[in-house]
Amino acid sequence: MFHLFKKVHILKISCVTEYLFLAIMLNSIPWLTAIILLPLVSAFAIPFIPDKEGKTIRWYALSVSLITFGISIWGFWQNFDLQTSQFQMRETYAWLPQLGLNWSVAVDGLSMPLIVLSGLVTTLSLLAAWKVNRKPRLFYFLMLVLYSAQIGVFAAQDLLMFFLMWELELVPVYILISIWGGKKRLYAATKFILYTAIASVFILVSGLAMAFYGDNLTFDMVELGMKNYPMALELLAYTGFVIAFGVKLPIFPLHTWLPDAHSEASAPVSMILAGVLLKMGGYGLIRMNIEMLPNAHIKFAPVLVTLGVVNIVYGAFTAFGQQNLKRRLAYSSISHMGFVLIGIASFTELGVNGAVLQMLSHGLIAACLFFLTGAAYDRTHTLMMDELGGLAKSTPKIFALFTAGSMASLALPGMSGFISELSVFLGVTTSDAYSDAFKIVVVFLSAVGLILTPIYLLSMLREVFYGESKLSLDPNFLMSDAKPREVFITACLLLPIIGIGLYPKLATSTYDVKAVDVAMKSRAALPVVAETRSTQQQAHLPSVWTPAMVAPQLPNSSN
């Protein structure tokens, strides 16, 4: 009897495994839906987990996050084809057919690495948030919701769903900043939500305008990209998207929320903010602005390059003036995001490639630096650099890791930042789209920013870690050095940085095909402009455009 039962049981199990195996073979597992919904659904179990000291919940949240990360890696490993620039692993379910809203997710070379990045950074930030004393349940709940929203933004193929995910991430971040933040956290959180909410209005408006144009009502991003919009509409939609994503990225005049939010948020939240959320802006710019609106992109590209240069130089100079460690890092983020803008607007494979790599590499570097700042703050309880000093003696490991992170941030050769910034430079200098004078000015000014970066980062290191300790602490107080957990987190971020720096193909191979495709598409629109321009007076051309872009007049064409 028992034997029989066992047999049946084994049969059952083998049936299940066989089914699973079949499902994997047939590629019918909804991987993306699974990784979007898993954190969200498991977040709702948090209120019901019995927990006295907050330990069960953090293990729960961490394991959910790890499992999601594992599933996404496994799924991409199994199903992602590196050789195609098309969308893959597409899953579409009708959600509200009356509105044209579909639950439609897919990945391509652009979104896949970003999903992996957000998985990595979120998992590590959950590990970084090991001691949440205040309202731990709420904290881990919000972190898991935020995780879902991030993946959702990168995977969404439906513009309405993209907007929904984009908005979904607002409230968790707001509450995360306003409860577990620094002194001015309420101000920072309110500023964050107002900026982002107002900006996201533009996504919806541009999206509606594009969706309703033409005969077919659709929110599918691929189909939206295939519509032919009139120039005026395209320019308006482009402006809307630039404003929305420019707040997130951030682009110069819209950046003011960032230093406040980043410096007031607690270290794990800052890691996600700087590591992933800024990349949503860059991702959106490539996905919507370049891929869907290539004709407007040609008109706007010089503006983007100019804003990128302003970002680099302004961010670098402002970072100098900051005495608060996190604010300095925040302005350095602004400066680094300028390279993304320039790369996007370069019209070359190399430039777009560099922009994507810059997003990935900055995601890792910023997360690493913000985490280490948090670790330093846990020990000193201050972020003001003039109150710090001589930390290298008491905490040599943190010092070493911080130095490594800063080196990566200042684009030391052999680190990922170097590769990406170099590619952007090469991309913009080899671009045919701009006149030589314009390129020279751009390269020169960004080089100034590049020189400033080591200066402010090294002077930060000097002030914080060298010299005598200025902390008015008890002399007998022994500051503990980095714990294995902290070293582990930093290592997880630094290893890919160095890995990519030494062998860039590690990262670039994932999106190379896609980046080439994007650059080709954006260049494909160029001749159209050139033709229309050639009919105009040559003298009226803006000086940023290279003469090569204007189709030469054939000698007998005037007759």
For 213, the token pair is 């144009």
Q: Rounded to whole angstroms, how far apart are CA atoms 268 and 377?
A: 12
Nearer to other proteins, 104 or 178 (CB): 178
Least gap, CB of 368 to other proteins (angstroms): 29
Nearer to other proteins, 215 or 474 (CB): 215
Backbone angles phi, psi at 122, to 5 degrees: -65, -40
Q: Rounded to whole angstroms, how far apart are CA atoms 425 and 354?
A: 8
Q: Rounded to whole angstroms, how far apart are CA atoms 401 and 385?
A: 18
Least gap, CB of 174 to other proteins (angstroms): 7
For 282, the token pair is 């860059």
Nearer to other proteins, 204 or 426 (CB): 204
Least gap, CB of 195 to other proteins (angstroms): 10
Number of C-beta neighbours around residue 191 at 10 A: 19
Least gap, CB of 201 to other proteins (angstroms): 4
The torsion region of residue 395 among left (phi > 0), alpha (psi -120 to 50) and beta comes to: beta
Nearer to other proteins, 211 or 519 (CB): 211
Least gap, CB of 557 to other proteins (angstroms): 21
Least gap, CB of 175 to other proteins (angstroms): 6
Nearer to other proteins, 24 or 168 (CB): 168
Nearer to other proteins, 227 or 393 (CB): 227
- The residues near 254 (Cβ < 8 Å, ≥ 6 apart) are 195, 199, 243, 246, 247
Nearer to other proteins, 178 or 373 (CB): 178
Q: Give buried/exposed letters for 158-179 (b at 16+ CB in 10 A, else e).
A: bbbbbbbbbbbbbebbbbbbbb
Least gap, CB of 97 to other proteins (angstroms): 8
Enumerate the β-bridge partners of residue 156. Answer: 105
Exposure of 474 by Cβ count < 10 A (0-12 exposed, 13-18 middle, 19+ buried)? exposed
* DSSP letters spanning 414-463: TSHHHHHHHHHHHHHHS-SSB-HHHHHHHHHHHHHHHHHHHHHHHHHHHH
Query: Residue numbers of the site for other proteins (CB under 8 A)?
Result: 47, 95-99, 101, 134-135, 138, 160, 164-165, 167-168, 170-171, 174-175, 178-179, 186, 190, 193-194, 197-198, 201, 204-205, 208-209, 212-215, 228, 230-233
Enumerate the β-bridge partners of residue 107. Answer: 88
